[in-house]
Structure 1
């Protein structure tokens, strides 16, 4: 159950975010949707128009500016009271050979994909501890299992989220806070546009999966909604692989 809960969701209007946001709204949550793509935000607002009744709060924060992001989170907390659920989903995924990445490139990916999530959890933690419950969900990636070239900063950042999931689960558990990760497989989103042969990539994905269909945003939304709900209160420190049986762990 997420009815009456307030969810902080970064990357909430993206390819995997929109459906989850609408599902959480439909189940009675208030969703603070953080996304800096105006076109996607407009699509989210249109898709959620029948579900919101004032329960969709949009913030177009720039996650690469961590100080400004924390200031924005404090403002949002003043508006909604506390965050019961944090979903760290926003990510950037530049693609090129390792030797072409600068240290600054790596640092930018880390800042958006990991450090912004740390800031979000630091902002939410006092309210969660006071309430004696909380849900933190980190969105990792199938790429941490290997098999993808030219994405080293992204892969490193998604692996870091797994480590934080386990560390936070141990540290926050005494306060009734669960921390879990979801590692999506290959989903047809904007992220796939980095592949030069879309049809060939699609065939490769289906050949690798045990389930012979492409995943949908609904598949991820269902997994996130489960971890966010009261019914998942005894599950923590885990990584759920939602990938059609491509990687089995």
Structure 2
């Protein structure tokens, strides 16, 4: 496991299906994790699962990323204490229905949480990263960008925006020692799968399409995130790593 001792990491959606395990692994690797998540139940589960000797480095903030003024105020206070070394833009919502049934407000909400929150978090962290000449930004995108899913238009749109930001930021921030990469998870058995009406059929379809014949688990994503956070990944930027068991290959 990469040694992250002393690294200060901002992680959105940190208590969710993929975030929970990653947060624990980051703490075990020595990092200080500022975990932003709005789900009270999942937040409580994360705290309960955090070993007592690691809890001092977990700073859990129950926050609604759609509340832009509050998030900006929160982040201003955090970076005033000391710089953030890394930002993991992971939080997302994924309503599912035909495109024509989404209201303008629903479309705007997906964009606010999935994209604008990433803009706000990255903008807050950038001055400190630039001053210290080191930083890591990781955007969590999705296998849905390959075009194989219906009824997820605003979600897919938001993940496409994050991929564009990954490349633009990588080009712009590299001169300051800051890398920016994306992780594109495949189909993982989290709450997101509850949108599928036939769970058993969906599970069978996933395994059929993957080269690796097991379902992914949160540890697979945690390993990819730890790699991108490491010093060893310092010459990799602007890239997207597909963690999907070989479902798609590029």
TM-score calculated relative to the size of structure 1? 0.98
SS of 1:247 mapped into structure 2? coil
Contact 1:93 1:109 in 2 (8 A): yes
**Alpha-carbon contact 1:19-1:221 (below 8 Å) kept:** yes
- Does structure 2 conserve the Cα–Cα contact (< 8 Å) formed by 1:26 and 1:51? no
Q: Which runs of 5+ in 2 are unaligned?
A: none
Name 1:210's counterpart in structure 2.
211
SS at match of 2:235: coil
How far is the alpha carbon of 1:243 from its aligned partner? Answer: 0.2
The separation in 1 between residues aligned to 2:163 and 2:41, in whole angstroms, is 30
Shift of 1:218: 0.3
Structure 2 residue aligned with 1:165: 166
CA separation of 1:136/1:51 partners in 2, compared to 1, >3 Å: closer, same or farther?
Answer: farther
The answer to whether the Cα contact below 8 Å between 1:22 and 1:51 also exists between their aligned partners in 2 is no
Distance 1:226 1:82 in 2: 21
Distance 1:52 1:136 in 2: 23
Q: Give the corresponding residue for 1:117.
A: 118
The Cα RMSD (Å) is 0.9
The answer to whether the 8 Å contact 1:140/1:162 transfers is yes
> 1:220 matched to which residue of 2?
221
**Deviation per CA, 1:62-117, whole angstroms, max 9, x where unpaired?**
101112111111122344x1210000000000000011012221111011000000
Of the structure 1 ranges 53-62 and 189-198, higher mean CA displacement relative to structure 2 is found in 53-62
2:186 equivalent to 1:200 = no
Provide the residue aligned with 1:62 in structure 2: 64
Deviations 1:159-218 (A, max 9, x none): 110000000000000000000000000000000000000000000000010000000000
Indicate conservation of the 8 Å contact 2:36/2:61, yes or no.
yes
1:97: which partner in 2? 98
CA displacement at 1:52 relative to structure 2? 1.5
1:229 deviation in Å?
Answer: 1.1
User: Structure 1: how far apart are the matches of 2:51 and 2:72?
Assistant: 28
Give 1:31's aligned residue: 33
Equivalent-residue separation in structure 1 for 2:171 and 2:53 (angstroms):
35
Q: Does 1:3 align with 2:9?
A: no
- Determine if contact 1:25/1:51 at 8 Å carries over to the other structure: no
Q: Distance in 2 between matches of 1:159 and 1:246?
A: 19
Report the Cα distance in structure 1 between the residues aligned to 2:80 and 2:228, rounded to whole angstroms. Answer: 26
Aligned residue number for residue 235 of structure 1:
236
> What SS does the corresponding residue of 1:54 show, helix, strand or coil?
helix
Provide the residue aligned with 1:44 in structure 2.
Answer: 46
CA displacement at 1:50 relative to structure 2: 3.6
Q: Which residue of the partner structure matches residue 147 of structure 1?
A: 148
Q: TM-score, normalised by structure 2?
A: 0.97
From the superposition, tell whether residues 55 and 110 of structure 1 become closer, same or farther in structure 2 (CA, over 3 Å): same
Q: Is the 8 A contact 2:21 2:219 kept in 1?
A: yes
Q: Which runs of 5+ in 1 are unaligned?
A: none
State how many pairs are aligned: 248
1:46 Cα deviation from its structure 2 partner: 1.1
Is the partner of 2:14 in helix, strand or coil? coil
